[in-house]
Amino acid sequence: MNKRIFLSPPHMSGAEMAFIAEAFDSNYIAPLGPMVDAFEHEFSETVGIRYTVALSSGTAAMHLAMRFLGVGKGDTVIASTLTFVGSVSPAVYQGAEPIFIDSDRQSWNMDPDLLAEELERCRKKGRLPKVVIPTDLYGQCCDMERITGICEAYGVPVVADSAEALGATYQKAEGRRQKAEGGGEEDNKQGAEGREQGNEGQRGKVKGQNKENKRKLVHAGVGARAAVYSFNGNKIITTSGGGMLASDDREIINKARFWSQQAREPFPHYEHRELGYNYRMSNILAAIGRGQLHVLEDRVQKKREIFEYYQENLGNMPGIEFMPEAPYGRCTRWLTVTLITPETFGVDREVVRLALEAENIESRPVWKPMHMQPVFKGCRVVGGSVAEDLFERGLCLPSGTQLSREEQDRVIETIRKCRK
């Protein structure tokens, strides 16, 4: 049998070993530590968001953001329906009920027009959502500028689920910035004060200002009240598992850091006045993350090359199309996603997936929309037909950055053979 081709396996850069060796030599084999401090600082500089806290997962980061913003029993939150469950479940942990918004066709992300309609409906009912959570799907930014503008008009904060989109960029008007609410410039003395200093850093490495229309390229997550990122094993960079919460509001990060360390008060003994969590990132995993972060842009370029080769070799086949790139940004193509129309291709997405599996090639349907999930049965959905169609026809193809041309040709040939 041919060697297994995985969907998006980890890809070590080689630089990780030096950082890991440094952590071992220091004997700092523990949660937190100097590697975590440095990783947070370097990540902040990379994405252009002032304050960050490294955590055990992206889901943990979302949970801490929901808690800080006061999401609780009886509240609602608005979220993308075409997303991973970890985008929504933390709000449910807090007792809230989700409302799902359909995708638009140009980005496959949350439809801003439907969001505006739903916020106006909620306003008229006197029950605005506590938070809006748009997902940056498969490496593509949502229309963040429109979404934040709409939400600001209603006084609703935005938390960006950028777990799949580290390295993606979008065009943003210069000087426009999400207002930091809740006294964001005051330090939370309960947090680990000394460890955040490394996060202040620069406003980011992303360049590319357009002087004519006064717009600039910014990273996924910029402009939201807070942004969530994931370093799961299949992401564009990985720490094997882990996440990051980022915000220009220092208070959010201070409080999240405090809660992530079991909410321990600054006493010589263990003192707790509220409950926290063990959401810390270890020093060793942060060392891996530092080595990975250095090659982020290389990984983006490789992902885009893989997408372009698929498109070049499959895009002219009747019944096959690919996830579009929104006109306002650059998609990382974390995963290459194709749509298969059975009426013109001859077979449906599932036949293709099974044919690939028979050749020992991993592929995966796009996310099943949240409003179709049994766990969210009965929750309100605005629209839904676009996400349902994308789920019905969408297939994620192998997109790992170590994918060879020979392996990619195997995938392409297998798909070609499926056409009737």
Asked if residue 306 and residue 272 are part of one domain, the reply reads no
Asked if residue 288 and residue 311 are part of one domain, the reply reads no
In degrees, rounded to 5, the angle at the alpha carbon of residue 230 between the alpha carbons of residues 283 and 197 is 50
Asked if residue 193 and residue 243 are part of one domain, the reply reads yes
Residue 180 has pLDDT above 90, yes or no: no
From the centroid of its chain, how far is CA 24?
Answer: 30
Last residue of a domain, one of 243, 261, 295: 295
Query: What is residue 187's predicted lDDT score, i.e. its pLDDT?
Result: 35
Query: What is residue 176's predicted lDDT score, i.e. its pLDDT?
Result: 53
**pLDDT tens, position by position, 210-268:** 444 688 999 999 999 999 999 999 999 999 999 999 999 999 999 999 999 999 999 99
The arithmetic mean of pLDDT across residues 7-11, rounded, is 97
- Scored b (16 or more CB within 10 A) or e, 111-148 reads bbebbbebbeebeeeeebbbbbbbbbbbbbbbbbbbbb
The arithmetic mean of pLDDT across residues 48-57, rounded, is 98
Asked whether 370 and 354 are in contact (CB, 8 A), the reply is no
Last residue of a domain, one of 267, 295, 323: 295
Tokens 């904060």 correspond to 157
Asked if residue 405 and residue 305 are part of one domain, the reply reads yes
CATH number at residue 182: 3.40.640.10
9 within a domain of the structure (yes/no) = no
36 within a domain of the structure (yes/no) = yes
Residue 205 has pLDDT above 80, yes or no: no
**pLDDT tens, position by position, 341-362:** 999 999 999 999 999 999 999 9
Residue 181 has pLDDT above 50, yes or no: no
Residue 204 has pLDDT above 50, yes or no: no
The number of beta carbons lying within 10 Å of the beta carbon of residue 3 is: 9
322 within a domain of the structure (yes/no) = yes
Last residue of a domain, one of 274, 295, 316: 295
10 within a domain of the structure (yes/no) = no
139-143, 172-176, 223-227, 335-339: the lowest-pLDDT one: 172-176
Helix or strand or coil: residue 353?
A: helix
The arithmetic mean of pLDDT across residues 260-282, rounded, is 96
Asked if residue 266 and residue 344 are part of one domain, the reply reads no
Structure confidence at residue 202 as a pLDDT band (50, 70, 90): very low
Residue 191 has pLDDT above 80, yes or no: no
7 within a domain of the structure (yes/no) = no
12-16, 49-53, 378-382, 411-415: the lowest-pLDDT one: 12-16
Asked if residue 326 and residue 238 are part of one domain, the reply reads no
Residue 190 has pLDDT above 80, yes or no: no
How many structural domains does the chain have?
2
Residue 28 has pLDDT above 90, yes or no: no
Residue 325 has pLDDT above 50, yes or no: yes
Asked if residue 144 and residue 42 are part of one domain, the reply reads yes
Cα dihedral: 108, 106, 161, 396 (round 10)? 40
Query: What is residue 213's predicted lDDT score, i.e. its pLDDT?
Result: 60
302 within a domain of the structure (yes/no) = yes
The arithmetic mean of pLDDT across residues 146-167, rounded, is 98
- What is this structure's pTM? 0.91
Helix or strand or coil: residue 195?
A: helix
Q: What DSSP designation does 397 have?
A: E
Asked if residue 223 and residue 358 are part of one domain, the reply reads no
DSSP structure string for 251-273 = HHHHHHHHHHBTTB-SSSS--BS
Asked if residue 178 and residue 240 are part of one domain, the reply reads yes
Residue 414 has pLDDT above 60, yes or no: yes
Q: How far is CA 203 from CA 31, 184, 239, 250, 367, in A?
A: 28, 17, 24, 14, 33
The arithmetic mean of pLDDT across residues 334-338, rounded, is 98
Average pLDDT score over the chain:
92
Structure confidence at residue 109 as a pLDDT band (50, 70, 90): very high
CATH number at residue 321: 3.90.1150.10
- Which contiguous run of DSSP H or E holds residue 287? helix 283-293
2 within a domain of the structure (yes/no) = no
The arithmetic mean of pLDDT across residues 379-388, rounded, is 98
Among 281, 347, 353, CA closest to 319: 347
DSSP structure string for 32-94 = B-HHHHHHHHHHHHHHT-SEEEEES-HHHHHHHHHHHTT--TT-EEEEESSS-GGGTHHHHHT
Query: What is residue 215's predicted lDDT score, i.e. its pLDDT?
Result: 86
Asked if residue 203 and residue 68 are part of one domain, the reply reads yes
The arithmetic mean of pLDDT across residues 178-187, rounded, is 39
Residue 198 has pLDDT above 70, yes or no: no
Asked whether 62 and 87 are in contact (CB, 8 A), the reply is yes
Domain that includes residue 338, residue range: 297-418
Query: What is residue 152's predicted lDDT score, i.e. its pLDDT?
Result: 98
The number of beta carbons lying within 10 Å of the beta carbon of residue 174 is: 13
Asked if residue 318 and residue 250 are part of one domain, the reply reads no
Query: From CA 365, how far away is CA 351, in angstroms rounded?
Result: 12
The arithmetic mean of pLDDT across residues 392-417, rounded, is 98
The arithmetic mean of pLDDT across residues 21-29, rounded, is 92
Asked if residue 317 and residue 276 are part of one domain, the reply reads no
4 within a domain of the structure (yes/no) = no
Residue 99 has pLDDT above 80, yes or no: yes
Structure confidence at residue 334 as a pLDDT band (50, 70, 90): very high
